[in-house]
Amino acid sequence: MRLHRFATPQALARAASRRFVALAREAIAARGVFRVALAGGSTPQALYETLAGAAIDWSSVEFFWSDERFVPASDPHSNEGMARRALLGRVGVRYVFPMVVAATPEACAARYEQLLPEALDLVLLGLGEDGHTASLFPGEPAVREHERKAIAARAPTGVADRITLSAAYMNRARLVWFLVTGAGKAQALARVLAGPEDHDATPAQAVARHAPEVEFFADAAALGALHRA
């Protein structure tokens, strides 16, 4: 696990964009394709907007999502909608695989599993203040799914119905990035990185502590508690 510290979210977005470009070029040169799962929420938006100006062969990138709220892409809560506004609608993408494609979250998850590759090159994730990641929330059964690649899940707040990649599937990726900014995330980040392991209480640990290659991109505000730990 590697931890990259940044003074500000803007510096984090710039550095993550540079690394993303390098990873994409390397994968496309080696395998002809770069397969990435985009994170939802608000933190990654700055990265996506920065990437919109990057020189990548976007037609060789396959875009998936780590999770999605069960709403249409036009809904302001949609992770797909945010990514399309910030990046996908601004570059020449060719392969985009939205999660909400069927009448129920369970049907969406089942359809998504047919599309997902054996393993992704990169999974982008955020971190909730309660220690969730993707749509793996504390106290919910989703974090313990070991067989399936994608499942329906429930969130305690906001849009309740979700579709999410399972921790087991995310842990098969070549690389997982957590993007974490803001003082509100400090306690959760400290628990993920240094707290007792309890996936029901802090689901992000199920990926952060078990994926073979994990990198954290965090700003000073989110790292505050760790300085005090």
Instruction: List residues near ligand 6PG by CB under 6 A.
Output: 39-43, 66-67, 69, 79, 126-128, 132-135
- Greatest Cα-to-Cα distance within the chain, rounded to the nearest angstrom: 47
Q: Which is nearer to ligand 6PG, 56 or 131 (CB)?
A: 131
112 and 163 Cβ atoms separated by less than 8 Å: yes
Minimum distance from residue 26 beta carbon to ligand 6PG (Å): 25
The tokens of 64 are what? Answer: 């998936």
Q: How far is the CB of 91 from ligand 6PG (least distance, A)?
A: 22
Q: Closest approach of Cβ 108 to ligand 6PG, in Å?
A: 14
Nearest distance from residue 58's CB to ligand 6PG, in Å?
A: 22
Buried b (16+ CB within 10 A) or exposed e, 205-215: bbbbeebeebb
Any idea of the CA torsion for 103, 107, 111, 116, to the nearest 10 degrees? 120
**Smallest gap from residue 3 Cβ to ligand 6PG (A):** 18
Minimum CB separation of residue 176 from ligand 6PG in Å reads: 13
Nearer Cβ to ligand 6PG (39/142): 39
Nearer to ligand 6PG, 29 or 166 (CB): 166
Nearer to ligand 6PG by Cβ, of 58 and 164: the residue is 164
Beta bridge partners of 6: 219
- CB of 203 closer than 8 Å to CB of 131: yes
Q: Please say which residue, 69 or 191, places its beta carbon nearer to ligand 6PG.
A: 69
Contacts (Cβ under 8 Å, ≥6 apart) of 38: 44, 48, 63, 64, 65, 66, 79, 83, 124
- Taking the least distance from each CB to ligand 6PG, the nearer of 40 and 81 is 40
Helices (H) and strands (E) in the chain, counts: 8, 10
CB 204 within 8 A of CB 192: yes
